[in-house]
Amino acid sequence: MKHLKLSTTIAAMALMASAAQAEVKVAQDCPPDPETCGTYVWASTFAKHLNDNGMEAVEYARGALGDEAERLDQVSSGLLKVSMSDQRSAGSLDPFIYGMGLPFLFGTHAELDAAVEKGNMLEIINQGTAPNGVRVLALVANGSPAGLFNTKKPIEKIEDMADLRMRALDETQIGMYEAWGSAGTIVSWPEVPSALQTGVADGYLNAPVVPLMFGHNDFLKHFTDVRISAPVRVALASEDWYQGLSDEERVTVNEAVEVATVANRQWVLGQDSVLADLEAAGIAIVNLSDEGRARFAEASLSLYEGGLASPESVAAWLAAAGKE
């Protein structure tokens, strides 16, 4: 009888482990709002496709599974199957992806998508990240072209940046601000509201929808539509999990990626009203002149020679963009 009970317990534990393994955990990175969050649209569409096709997917709210670094560790070890993450997570494993973020290289997501397809860039990215246990499933749009937010004044020309200290994601972004005659300070995203309120940082570079998504319009008062880049986050997956899928499951996952990416790009096209939404939320808009934007672009040329990405990465992204 004891042996029977032990066998039953072991069998139950094996079933529980199997169920846990079968569950596809998907970590969200923003509030559950399909109107303001493009990564939420991608992840929820991805999870729905899996669930509709016999694979159990469970979405976890932003922060429930840890911060960016913690989620990256979980993905690389296989504990977390899919995470909506920042570019730096992939770049920390292999820096090739950083070339995508060069200022004024891609003005729209359509331009970025065309370059990624032309140069097989996802394949190259994954050649660097997969040996570290991480696969980039997709480049996920998180807003229309990025511009500059700040708490102090309108930025109508590059010289207006001189007395601003901008929130930076990392040292490479500090280099970008310095190229524009400004200064940067690294602030983690959860600390941004406090930094803006206390003057530790005067603003940040981001997609127009971001302050509305996180409630930062209470602090930010100005936005300059510089259209610096097509803002992107990444959908990361556990490489061990992906390679361990059956052929049928991998087809389902790949289909889910395609469906989710289409939904995400449709969401971007619906962001045309976001500048009006910013104004309604109390943020004044500066539509930068072509000359003003050209001066920002000219000041950014030094970044193509080092700082944001390796020369090899820069050359590959320029070739894919047709801007050699």
Cβ neighbours around 113 below 10 Å, total: 17
Query: What pLDDT sits at residue 101?
Result: 87
Query: What pLDDT sits at residue 48?
Result: 98
Cα–Cα distances in Å, from 75 out to 72, 85, 249, 282? 5, 11, 18, 39
Token pair of 203 as six digits: 């603003």
Mean pLDDT, 10 residues at a time, the chain of 324 residues: 40 36 90 94 98 98 96 98 95 93 92 96 97 98 94 97 95 91 95 97 95 94 94 97 98 98 96 92 95 95 82 93 89
Would you give the end-to-end CA distance of the chain in angstroms?
A: 75
Cα–Cα distances in Å, from 125 out to 96, 258, 286? 6, 18, 36
Query: What pLDDT sits at residue 322?
Result: 94
Helices (H) and strands (E) counted in the chain, each on its own, are 14, 11
CA distance 318 to 324: 5
Query: What pLDDT sits at residue 9?
Result: 37
- Residue-by-residue DSSP string for 205-270: EE-TTHHHHHTGGGT--EEE-------EEEEEEEHHHHHTS-HHHHHHHHHHHHHHHHHHHHHHHG
Query: What pLDDT sits at residue 21?
Result: 53
CA 98 from centroid of its chain's CA atoms: 12
Cα–Cα distances in Å, from 16 out to 191, 209, 234, 245? 38, 41, 31, 19
Query: What pLDDT sits at residue 8?
Result: 38
What domains lie within the chain, and their CATH numbers?
A: 2-97+109-141+233-272 (3.40.190.170), 147-229+273-321 (3.40.190.170)
| Maximum separation of any 2 CA atoms in the chain, in Å | 85
Tell me the whole-structure pTM to 2 decimals. Answer: 0.85
